[in-house]
Structure 1
Amino acid sequence: MTAQTQPTVTVDSLQAEITRHLKLSIGKDPSHASVYDWRMSLSLALRDLVVEPWFASTRKTYEGQHKRVYYLSMEFLIGRLVEDVTINLDVEQTAIDAMAALGQDYKVVVADEPDAALGNGGLGRLAACFMDSLATLAIPAYGYGIRYEHGLFEQHFENGQQTESAEGWLAQRHVWEFERPEVAYKIHFGGYVSEEDGKANWHPAETVLASAYDTPVIGWKGQWANTLRLWAAKPVKLFDLESFNRGDYVGANAPERLARTISRVLYPDDTTQDGKELRLKQEYFFTSASIKDLLRRFLSEGHQITDLADHVAIQLNDTHPAIAGPELVRLLIDKHALPEKDAIELARKCLAYTNHTLLPEALESWPEDLFARILPRHHRIIQMIQHRHLEETGSDVRIIDHGNVKMGELAFVMAHKVNGVSALHSELVKETVFADLNTAYPNR
């Protein structure tokens, strides 16, 4: 991709923009501004510098109908963005000097920013670094994840004991994101599947909306920008007035309660049945919204659905989005009328999987009865995928085994390429945790 030209930013021009935002966006006089006000004003001034290359990169991708990478991850440990953006725009010293001219300590202002702790460690940091790298290399890409209200918990020590409390990065306005109310998808759970005229029809019991929030990710020297799109769960029906008027005040809020629970907390405790159900819903929620979104974008360019793999590359960061395989197959069969075999082959050409563990017991799996209850259509599709996998390879490795749906095996079978997080890790994946599948699918 051709790089964008970044306009020169001076101390005077940045200082003027910070002051303008302080007055017009924050509504504060410099003599009464807090550290928060200065930080928000600096962030808005920096965000303005990101928007034009972001738009230009998006336009160039659409005009050239270039292939896009879609990076699906349960975690994005992006951290504080003021410092990240100033470094990538190569204006850190300019920002330091501009804030000093305004009587503010840049380091104090940077430290005031809440840490968007939407990850747990290496997996989430890897995802954030990949987004930076993709933008630096000017590779058109979207990151897809969940806009958790509460990310990684805050840790405290009281009387020598560790205590945990909810992390509240959204207690303040997240200035880097752009809400997209026009981009929302219905996500379904539960219910049953019926057969009508030889076609499967899913009749869901619950539905929530996945609503998009976009954060631009700027590459080094500000020459290219991609998008991190996070999904927030919202109710289809905002408020049940009839229940409220009957005096059922708790029931009136049930739709909102279900939706907010899904995108409320990063990694809810899944040692209980309810916790497992919520975790599975979270994974399907963001994966389904992401697959629907990339299909909408692909079809808006006038392509034929059979050409999907020429324009779409979907990378699964660990097994959390492994349901992407069955979801894409479902949409190709149920919405686009592709034959089962063609749908599986096309989905596989689009999907690749990054493994993060060599321990078989650490690979994600779901009780089959829970999975079938929450995602009945996908349960049938996985049975279909397994049947074709066993028939085509002669392998005895099953995706559904001893009452469990094994997401590592599903991700491997539905991917055209599998990798570890390093060259050595990739070799060990072939030799250990997926040795039998590596034999069944050599060179995958």
Structure 2
Amino acid sequence: MFSSKEAFKKRFLDKFERMYGKSFDESTLQEQYNTLGQMIREYVSKDWIETNERYRSNKQKQVYYFSIEFLLGRLLGSNLLNLGIRDCIDQGLKELGVSLNELEEQEVDAGLGNGGLGRLAACFLDSLASLNLPGHGVGIRYKHGLFDQKIVDGYQVELPEQWLRNGNVWEIRKAGQAIEVKFGGEVKVSYANGELMFHHVNAETVTAVPYDMPIIGYENKVVNTLRLWSAEPSQFRPDKGDVMKYKRETEAISEFLYPDDTHIEGKILRLKQQYFLVSAGLNSIIRSYLKNNNDLCKIHEKIAIHVNDTHPVLAIPEMMRILLDEQGLGWDEAWDITTNTISYTNHTTLSEALETWPISIFKPLLPRIYMIVEEINERFCADLWKKYPGDWQRIESMAIIAHDMVKMAHLAIAGSHSVNGVAQIHTNILKTREMKLFYEFYPHKFNNKTNGITHRRWLLKANPELTNVITEAIGGAWAAEPVKLTELNSFVHDTGFQDEIYNVKQFNKQKLAKRIQNLTGIVVDEESIFDVQVKRLHAYKRQLLNILHIMYVYNRLKEESNYTITPRTFIFGAKASPGYYYAKKIIKLINTLADKVNSDPNTRDMLKVIFLENYRVSLAEEIIPAANISEQISTASKEASGTGNMKFMMNGALTLGTLDGANIEILEEVGQDNIYTFGLTADQVLFYQRNGGYRAFEYYHHDKRLHQVINQLVNGFFPVTGQEFETIYDSLLVQNDEYFVLKDFDSYVAAHEKVDLAYKDRQGWMEKSIINIAQSGRFSSDRTIQEYADDIWTIHS
């Protein structure tokens, strides 16, 4: 189909006319994009079928990666890249008067994720296919994503993220493979042949319809599958009551990513989503397995189920239900199969993020699943009693059900064969603090798998100019084996190579500057340091620390006539959860500060603050290649890993960060001279949290810089009411600064001063930048996935 640009052009025009029944001269960009997308999907269909047939005929073990989020980004560009046909398509379209870049802009980012959890899942799918590993994604086909963010008068306003308004050319609906999922009702028990039988009756039935999307490997003809489930009304609903109410409630299950759970209806809907995902996914997988295999007792030899955080942990009792109630296995046999099949990744050290569900919600919604969880808990506690007789406190703290709550992380650990953290420090904290008791009981289950990113999207696709410079220097083998980027170390002191890398960075900064001007109307200095913090807005990620530092710099520029800095452009991008009042106040503060700084004629040539609304994958692909500084400033011990830090590093930005998450491993790779670290260590944070002794007021009173900027939150410095930022003021002083912003402030300022000094030495800065690129190969998700494949899933190419 794409053997030449001439063949492509003919097929493209023919396809367009068949799809739209009109002349190509009348076509819109959206129609052109749809035509090309359909052609690409059809082009890969042969490889897609052959990949699945190969897995079946070879009886290969396959992994299914269950995640509540898959933050895919745009697929046209990455699919063309992985297929190796971008140049052919680009040239053919040009001759038809069409810009491929403009067609890529027509694609809406898929609204299937929110932050690092979903982007990690997307990177993992890319690596599985590119490593020729039999692995697939299982998620929910949300009709709307989290939300589209608009900034109005500095405030975040949420609008529906209607990513499907023009359809999705990458998906294929598979109505013939639908699954019925049951909620509510009751469980009736009967005896047959001396055995207990459980029957889920009077349930509300929902139809889960799968939509399959191809996941294309890099130049290897492998096409794996992302299966997304959509909730639809069932034809088998026994209760024929209010049909419209039933339809609305059913479709709501796959309507929104993370429905608002500040009220009980939202909580019920979230739990429904989680069970809907695992029930549909597992029933589909087991049904497929039984077509080609008789022995369910060996399913763990052919199938691995991985749950990405606690959202899909109901896979454990659901698999037990299928094996017990539908397949007639005994408890011990079913438990052995389930635990050998399922593995679990923990993504947090924040106790408030460890998911729990009230029995009052869980039991009525999922009556049979609750019975199974109860039995799992009874048996688990009995095992604990055998090892720790009389230690009621330990058993109570480890129980899966306690104090009228179901603890999902506890269920995940008890019901899986592997529990992994996502950075070495994170895993160590799990072992020694958050999951210490479980580690003592199950030491063999715990392991570390440091996160990674797909270099294909975050370097080859996002930064083709840097890709070309690297390939000219060391050849193209690194694209398949990213660890070979270390060969760039021989060019660290090569001034000609330094100039090439510098020119690429400036080119990307110019592109981003144009985008900023188009989006905001603000002109930024392309020669300034682009200092970037883009990530989800959360108190522990400490965007506030960044803001207070900018306020301090602004104050000095205003008050000290002899004070100068290397011009600096601070760039933020972040969404705050709709119900997260504090985080939304931080967004208002950033934008209020930006208005003040950017409009001040005395400082605006040296200092700019930019907030780019609606941060998403496609915007990240423009921001990250242009960054000079990567702000990774979470409170030590709070960020499990981070993956933004890796993306920036791979594109030559230097990390300014705490000793947290994967920052520590980046430090190990690049050395202390090529990263800017500051602040408390994780051990110091944990010490203060356990023993007290931190007094935020003391820092406020004794540091004139802090005293000034904190007062400015409430003293009329900003043109807002005095109460606007009182919540932030109180969080620092009245609530004693939970995330140690004031404690780390002095160290953070000192780190920035080092950055300012270092950037003045262009040659030295470029040496640091090249070292970061050279050492970034270790953080490819290919390495991470190979470790999962070898150590947890035991799958092979």
Tell me the TM-score normalized by structure 2.
0.53
What's the counterpart of residue 16 of structure 2? 22
- Displacement, 1:293? 0.5
What's the counterpart of residue 186 of structure 2? 192
- Displacement, 1:315? 0.4
SS in 1 for 2:419: strand
| Higher share in helix | 2
What's the counterpart of residue 3 of structure 1? none
- Displacement, 1:56? 0.8
Structure 1 CA distance, aligned partners of 2:433 and 2:100?
49
**Aligned residue identity for 2:410:** E
What's the counterpart of residue 81 of structure 1? 75
Are the aligned partners of 1:70 and 1:142 in contact in 2 as well (CA < 8 Å)?
Answer: yes
Structure 1 CA distance, aligned partners of 2:19 and 2:134?
31
Structure 2 CA distance, aligned partners of 1:232 and 1:111?
26
What's the counterpart of residue 330 of structure 1? 321
Highest RCO, 1 vs 2 (Cα 8 Å, sep ≥ 6):
1
SS in 2 for 1:193: strand
Decide whether aligned partners of structure 1 residues 204 and 139 sit closer, same or farther in structure 2, where only a CA change above 3 A counts.
farther
What's the counterpart of residue 398 of structure 1? 399
- Displacement, 1:270? 0.6
Are the aligned partners of 2:61 and 2:303 in contact in 1 as well (CA < 8 Å)?
Answer: yes
What's the counterpart of residue 4 of structure 1? none
Are the aligned partners of 1:239 and 1:253 in contact in 2 as well (CA < 8 Å)?
Answer: no
Are the aligned partners of 2:186 and 2:202 in contact in 1 as well (CA < 8 Å)?
Answer: yes
Structure 2 CA distance, aligned partners of 1:183 and 1:239?
18
Alignment of 1:104-115 (within 5 A): 104-115=98-109
Q: Does 1:412 align with 2:417?
A: no
CA RMSD of aligned residues (A): 1.8
Q: Whose radius of gyration is greater, 1 or 2?
A: 2
Alignment of 1:174-193 (within 5 A): 174-193=168-187
Are the aligned partners of 1:136 and 1:224 in contact in 2 as well (CA < 8 Å)?
Answer: yes
Q: Does 1:128 align with 2:129?
A: no
Alignment of 1:274-353 (within 5 A): 274-353=265-344
Are the aligned partners of 2:253 and 2:273 in contact in 1 as well (CA < 8 Å)?
Answer: yes
> Which shifted more, 356-365 or 307-316?
356-365
- Displacement, 1:117? 2.1
- Displacement, 1:423? 3.7
Structure 1 CA distance, aligned partners of 2:23 and 2:276?
43
- Displacement, 1:13? 2.3
- Displacement, 1:271? 1.0
Alignment of 1:162-181 (within 5 A): 162-181=156-175
Q: Deviations over 1:34-93 (max 9, x none)?
A: 001111111122212211111110110111111110110000111111111011111222
Structure 2 CA distance, aligned partners of 1:127 and 1:361?
23
Q: Deviations over 1:177-201 (max 9, x none)?
A: 0110101111001111222112222
**Aligned residue identity for 2:297:** T
Decide whether aligned partners of structure 1 residues 168 and 222 sit closer, same or farther in structure 2, where only a CA change above 3 A counts.
farther
Structure 2 CA distance, aligned partners of 1:47 and 1:18?
13
Are the aligned partners of 1:145 and 1:286 in contact in 2 as well (CA < 8 Å)?
Answer: yes
- Displacement, 1:443? 1.5
SS in 2 for 1:173: coil
Decide whether aligned partners of structure 1 residues 392 and 46 sit closer, same or farther in structure 2, where only a CA change above 3 A counts.
same
Structure 2 CA distance, aligned partners of 1:83 and 1:422?
30
> Which shifted more, 268-277 or 188-197?
188-197
Structure 1 CA distance, aligned partners of 2:154 and 2:136?
43
Structure 2 unaligned blocks of 5 or more = 389-394, 446-797
What's the counterpart of residue 227 of structure 2? 229
- Displacement, 1:238? 9.5
- Displacement, 1:253? 1.4
SS in 2 for 1:117: coil
Structure 1 unaligned blocks of 5 or more = 1-6, 244-250
User: Which segments of structure 1 move beyond 6 Å, counting only runs of 4 or more?
Assistant: none
> Which shifted more, 423-432 or 129-138?
423-432
| Identity across the alignment (%) | 37
Alignment of 1:45-124 (within 5 A): 45-124=39-118
Are the aligned partners of 2:132 and 2:220 in contact in 1 as well (CA < 8 Å)?
Answer: no
Structure 1 CA distance, aligned partners of 2:236 and 2:166?
23
Are the aligned partners of 1:189 and 1:204 in contact in 2 as well (CA < 8 Å)?
Answer: no
- Displacement, 1:290? 0.4
**Aligned residue identity for 1:41:** T
Structure 2 CA distance, aligned partners of 1:309 and 1:109?
44
Structure 2 CA distance, aligned partners of 1:229 and 1:431?
37
Q: Deviations over 1:246-291 (max 9, x none)?
A: xxxxx34123212111110110001100000000000000110001
Q: Does 1:361 align with 2:352?
A: yes
Are the aligned partners of 1:188 and 1:204 in contact in 2 as well (CA < 8 Å)?
Answer: no
- Displacement, 1:204? 4.2
Tell me the TM-score normalized by structure 1.
0.94
Structure 2 CA distance, aligned partners of 1:309 and 1:302?
12
